[in-house]
Amino acid sequence: MRESTINADRVEQRINRLAEIGKISDTGVCRLALSPEDREAVELVKGWMEEAGLMARIDAFGNLIARMEGGNPGAPALMLGSHIDTQPYAGRFDGIVGVIGALEVVQTLVEQEIVPPFPIEVASFCDEEGCRFNKGLFGVRGLLGRLEEGELERADKHGVTRRDALLAFGGDPERFAECEYEPGNVGAFLELHIEQGPVLEALDAPVGIVTGIAGPLWWTVDLYGFAGHAGSVPMPLRKDALVGAAQVISGLRALAVSEPGAPTVGTVGSLKVFPDSRNIIPEHVQFTVDLRDIDLARRNRLEQQLRELLDATAQEHGLRYEIREDTNSEPRYCAKRLKSAIREAAQTMELAPPPELMSGPFHDSLAMSYYCDYSMIFVRCREGISHNPKEYASKADIATGTELLYQTALKLILDAQGKDG
């Protein structure tokens, strides 16, 4: 690879500095959306944006957005970015690489005295993770006018509603409408992100080009049985909600692996048992379902089979169940023109052709795909570990990904200048 234009040391220093906010171990971070730690991190990044000469603001949804006006401020903007909120047991890189990398791209343009013919925006979206209020992509969906009814009333494990957390953070639900983007404000969105999977490492490739994002289906399932003494109620007479839940959870895994070679994944990551006592038959179990696939027809077929399994299990054990659909998105494919731009940028850098792969995790790009063309660049991460303090991407690989993002943005700038000329 030829010599980089971006400042890799600056990128590394900023990532490490952010990791100090919400630090839970040598490498672990907990910076939940709309928490005081989240606000501290947003203010820190906002300061870096302003130091780079950008106009930065925190909108009513809690999004941090900086802008470089360019030669024609009225033209559709190129937006770069990701998020800096984390899971409760997280590493330093998920989302953060995309925000710091995007800022580095624009700061490098400023330092190189390159004036794009269109505005460039750097976004750090609020609450991509969704772990606190069990519904992610909040900030980006808010910006695009895609919030759903009742989202502000969702409560975290401590009973704090999103509305109250947003107000404490400095957001303002009364100003949502004025902060929404009109159609055409952004012409393209590029997101840099660690892969969160093992493919690039297996291929010995520092970066990859994303082809599309698998469609996530998120449920919250409640199973209701009947509590009784664990020592006196005969097994055939029990209505044990936890036994039913275990059967469904095991069945979800069986469905997810039912087609060899398919990228389908199914996960139950949260489970609550009531009354949660050693010698009481569980009466109520609540658990989450996360089902994803790049093939919507296959995911829909598995969803139907899962519903049938729930129904059969409830009948077998004398249970009642409820399903709340928290998220349902179809797979979204990256724009051909932007993938081509990334390929050409890789050639400019004298990189080996980057592998092309799908994304199982969703990202802010998923929401942006409904608004404008989008594409993503993945950075290799060690052993594919993510949502874990052991998450790691090397300085060299992050620098390669950031340089590829820069060269892609530069290509889009030169292409637009050529058309204008």
In the chain, where the domains are located: 8-213+331-420, 215-328
Euclidean distance between CA atoms 365 and 81, whole angstroms: 9
Homologous superfamily in CATH for domain 8-213+331-420:
Zn peptidases (3.40.630.10)
Helices (H), 172-263: 176-179, 199-202, 241-256
pLDDT score for 215: 86
Dihedral sign, Cα of residue 277, residue 278, residue 281, residue 286: positive
Contacts of 163 (CB under 8 A, 6+ apart): 152, 153, 173
Torsion angle of alpha carbons 240, 242, 246, 252, nearest 10°? 100
Secondary structure (3-state) at 9 = helix
301-353: pLDDT as tens digits? 999 999 999 999 999 999 999 999 988 989 999 999 999 999 999 999 999 99
242-294: pLDDT as tens digits? 999 999 999 999 999 999 989 899 999 999 999 999 999 999 999 999 999 98
Binding-site entries for Zn(2+): 83, 94, 129, 193, 387
CATH class of 215-328: alpha beta
Binding-site entries: 83, 94, 129, 193, 387
341-363: pLDDT as tens digits? 999 999 999 999 999 999 988 89
Euclidean distance between CA atoms 204 and 325, whole angstroms: 39
**Distances in Å between the alpha carbon of 263 and those of 19, 91, 137, 213, 293?**
32, 25, 23, 11, 6
In 283-394, DSSP assigns E strands to 284-293, 320-328, 332-333, 356-359, 373-379
Secondary structure (3-state) at 190 = strand
Q: In 222-259, which positions are buried (b, 16+ CB within 10 angstroms) versus exposed (e)?
A: bbbbbbbeeeebeeeebbbbbbbbbbbbebbeebbeee
Q: Quick check: 228 pLDDT over 60? A: yes
Average pLDDT of the segment spanning 162-177: 98
- Among all chains, which residue has been given the structure tokens 């490739």? 205
pLDDT score for 2: 78
Euclidean distance between CA atoms 207 and 201, whole angstroms: 9
CA angle 390-157-25, nearest 5°? 25
Phi, psi of 81 (to 5 degrees): 160, -170
Q: Quick check: 165 pLDDT over 80? A: yes
Tell me the pLDDT band of 420, cut-offs 50, 70 and 90. low
% of the chain residues with pLDDT over 90: 95
